[in-house]
Structure 1
Amino acid sequence: MASEKGLNELLKWSIENSAAPDPSAPESTAPRSTLSADALAAIMGGPSDAELMQAAVEHITSSDPEITLESKLTAFDNLEQLVESLDNANLLSKLGLWTPLLELLAHEEDQLRLMAAWCVGTAVQNNAPSQERLVALGGVEKLVAMALGDRLPVEKRAGAGEETTTTTTTEEEGAAAAGQEESKDVRRKAVYALSSAVRNYQPALDVAAKELRKRGEDVQEGIDATDMDAVNGLINGLKQKALIA
């Protein structure tokens, strides 16, 4: 397995070299990163998708001030493409990446919240095991709140493992979040993720419908998750709300 240092350098090199060169840039422009022996070994050894997913999440969640928002967004884009594969989407649970991914739904940067919702929607699409994990970790309730325009409070992890992790929010943080509205673009992406989560998976639809009714939405009882007309009616209503927000 490639070393963590090599993977991080590989990710940095990939991000920097994914952008087209600027022909107007002066010749004195600082050179891009070069690959160390560890990073080259990672390439020659072919880092696994699991290693790339872990490196991407570590990059996105890093507090290193030298890591730019643009760099994190590129890493998020790479992650979203990786979880288009059902096998990779199911790796999120095995690698313990669902918890940090769901925490990013509450990130202060709206672009990162949008990408988090996008990744969630891609990972659970036509994927019952991933839909199950989303339900188990309270992700459906989060998506409902976002779809209706609520900013999620920042959550602080209170455990080491994904299966036992709980999150807490202070009264001050909760009050601050309650006074903020989610952006229109993030709301629309949350609706997309919710749509992917509830289709053909009854437990997720039941949770979503219950949460929507609790929040005052007129949602009928007993919607069948395999009835696409009924599901489309529910999702289209949320889309319209997000568009006119």
Structure 2
Amino acid sequence: MPDLNELLKWSIANSTLPPTTNQNGQQAATQEQVSSSEGGLTIRYNPPSQATHSGTSALHPTDGAPPDLSPASTPGPGTPTGELQSQTFPLPSTTTPKRDDLTTEMLDLILGKSDSITMKEKMAFAVDEGNPVEERVEALDDFEMLIELIDNANNMPILKLWQPLLGLLSSPEPEIVSNALWIIGTTVQNNIKAQAALYIHSAFPLILQSYLLSTSSPVRAKAIYALSASLKHWPLASQALSQSYPSDKDGKDITGYEVLLRGLGDTDKTVRKKVSFLISTLVLQSNDRYDDKELPNEVRNVIEELTKNTKKEEEKDGLIAGLSRGGIFAELLVQLKEVKEDNLEFEENALKGLINALKFDGLSTQEKEQFKGIWMGLSIQQREERGLDKDEIASADGLLA
């Protein structure tokens, strides 16, 4: 594209003004000065004379100077050529033609479905018992990946997906129950809004029943995972564990603490390890204090609703007192009496839980003496093999001295 200076030169060279006559009857060159509005730049107009003057450098179409073939002066498609041509250009249409060949499926492929629609479709497929179990499990697996996003997890009540999800816990297929528990745990993990939705939908007792009634180790392991996620950093964790729930097994009600006690004696080593980790987490959590003003409004409303009919003893009872009264600490001491080198993770969780219980004065005098005997029987190497750092070892030595 030619630059502005060349266009100005071209314009001046091809412009003409009517000649003026001076007092001698001769034509005089008219000089016109135009000032730029920018200030400081002056364009002086010198129209070409009819006669040829030597020494002038004015540009004129008839001058015999060699043509300027530089890229800046080479006319392009939009460069004026001195000739006016009549051209017409069609105006763009203001209406967009409709496409009748675009289907909903094609638009989904182009734009992609929203997570909400995909979640509803996956859940609808999973609850349909007419579909193959393997494909239902795959749909639940896809659903679990979507629910990892906290916004999708918080949209569960709006999309009314809690009800069908909890309905899957009564499925006769262990794989379906296991994946449903997995989704529950992922939904509420480190998400207090989703935890509130879980308790409002009465999911906690269903999780306990899933553990108690299943003969499948994967189902029981996933039930403990969901139980742990529902209790971790939940302000009413002690209240949830203290309440009695129908067991649907022997007709007797059972508390959450009793379920933890049974978990410590589970036949599956993986389940016992998960239960011991949950207990260790609850001991640490017992010292947490929650400020109602910092909680989201919907969570505060749920807590107020759940505490309306709470018994006074349940309201005052803390996690340490509940674990002690439920025989949890006593069972940990029993299992630690016999050191097993193939059970290091369980023993690590048990030892850390008992050390922290000592800090919060949660062990009875008898339990403290039992723990001291177990602790003194462990060598420094055995303590380190069980994941205890120097600070924890020093803390236990001081508390048991």
Q: TM (normalized to structure 2)?
A: 0.37
5 Å-filtered alignment, 1:44-123, equals 44-63=110-129, 65=130, 67-123=131-187
Partner of 1:41: 107
1:136 alignment counterpart? 200
Amino acid at match of 2:161: L
| Superposition misfits of 4+ residues, deviation over 4 angstroms | 228-231
Pair 1:215 & 2:279 matched: no
What is the CA deviation profile of residues 199-228 of structure 1, one whole-angstrom value per residue up to 9, with x for unaligned ones? Answer: 1012244213323795262879xx778339
Structure-2 change in CA distance of 1:218 and 1:132 (3 Å): closer
Which ranges of structure 2 fall in alignment gaps of 5 or more residues?
1-101, 246-251, 262-281, 289-318, 333-345, 347-401
1:126, CA displacement in angstroms?
A: 0.7
Higher relative contact order (CA 8 A, sep 6+): 1
Write the letter of the residue equivalent to 1:145.
Answer: Q
> Could you list the per-position Cα deviations for residues 37-94 of structure 1 after superposition, in whole angstroms to 9, with x for gaps in the alignment?
432321212211101100000110124x3x2111111110000011111101011111
Are the aligned partners of 1:202 and 1:224 in contact in 2 as well (CA < 8 Å)?
A: no
1:196 lines up with 2:238 in the alignment? no
1:223-238 to structure 2, matched below 5 A, reads 226-227=285-286
Structure 1's 205 and 140: CA in aligned 2 closer, same or farther, altered over 3 A?
A: farther
* Corresponding residue for residue 335 of structure 2: none
Query: Take 1:219 and 1:185, find their aligned partners in 2: how far apart are those partners?
Result: 17
Counterpart in the other structure of 2:71? none
- The structural deviation recorded for 1:129 is 1.1
1:243 corresponding residue in structure 2: none
Higher helix share: 1
Query: Structure 1 length as normaliser, TM-score?
Result: 0.59
Query: Quick one: structure 1 residues 83 and 37, their matched pair in 2 at CA, closer, same or farther if it must change by over 3 Å?
Result: same
Identity among equivalent positions (%) equals 27
Any idea what SS the aligned residue of 2:285 has? coil
Listed as ranges, the gaps of 5+ residues in structure 1 are 1-35, 151-180, 241-245
- Once residues 139 and 98 of structure 1 are traced to their aligned partners in structure 2, the CA distance between those partners, rounded to angstroms, is 9
CA distance in 1, matches of 2:260, 2:133: 38
DSSP-derived class of the 1:93 partner: coil
Whole-angstrom distance in 1 between the partners of 2:235 and 2:176? 29
CA RMSD of aligned residues (A): 3.2
**Counterpart amino acid of residue 197 in structure 2:** R
Distance in 1 (alpha carbons) for counterparts of 2:147 and 2:238: 22
Alpha-carbon separation, structure 1, partners of 2:216 and 2:238: 24
Partner of 2:218: 185
